[in-house]
Homo-oligomer: A and B are copies of this chain.
Amino acid sequence: MGAFDNPLAAKLSGVLDLGEEDRRVLDGWCAGGVPLGHDQHLVREGDKPVHFCVVLDGWAHRYKLLPSGGRQIVGFMLPGDTCDLYGSVLPRADHGIAMLTPGRVAFVPQRLVEEAAARRPGVERILRWCALADASLARTWLANNGRRNARERLAHLLCELWLRADQVGLARGRTFDLPATQDELADALALTPVHVNRTLRGLQGDGLVDYQGREFTLPDLGRLAGVAGFDPAYLHLGGPSARDAVWP
């Protein structure tokens, strides 16, 4: 926001030194963008991906379907988040990506991305940063879902999503919109919707979370982060933000 008209540059400017020229490349990628409706797909599992995607507006989620019919959501995407679905590097998308809300997405032809990366080391760094941050996030979810109970897991996810929303200007103080159904939260946390509901109510009863519809408020982030065992390092966030005013 502010100085930047594209959320990807905004995010990256906090963590990497973007040259003038690199930023122009990113601006080019993020110009325009396609409006997408709720539930529309950016990528389907099995597709040969030919675009590098940047979410400009709205939320999306990445998911994997299992032969048995289950679904695991493997990540949420907010404005400024990218997916490098391997384009020229790997042959097929191993998971799908779809919108959680209406929004706007930039589809950058892999050819352009490759050319820019070959021409400018700064761009190559950006791509690598995105891929590595992505992997880091997936590993953190692995640990979260694997070794925490329902309460801790949910608290952890809420901390993460509030922080990420805040980072791109989508939080109003400790309040933010989490446009996912409890079903979707369940598939992200590897729980059942019923248990997500109970756990959410539990946190609410303890004054750690408040919500009406999809609008969530985290009245005591310090205590919630304590419950979650949350350490924001894995998000690799850059510069200062509202979080510094709120965080323990």
Contact = CB atoms under 8 A, between A and B. Distances in A.
Given A124-B124, A131-B128, A147 B84 contact: no
A38 B74 CA distance: 33
A75 B146 CA distance: 13
Contacts of A124: 117-118, 124
A125 interface: yes
A211 interface: no
B90 A145 contact: no
Interface residues of A, number: 51
Interface of A: 16, 62, 64, 66-68, 70-72, 74-75, 84, 86, 88-92, 94-95, 117-118, 121, 124-125, 127-129, 131-136, 138-143, 145-148, 152, 190, 229, 231, 233-234, 236
21 contacts: A16-B89, A64-B143, A66-B143, A66-B147, A66-B148, A66-B229, A67-B229, A70-B148, A72-B142, A86-B136, A89-B125, A89-B129, A89-B132, A94-B233, A94-B234, A118-B124, A128-B128, A135-B135, A138-B138, A138-B139, A142-B145
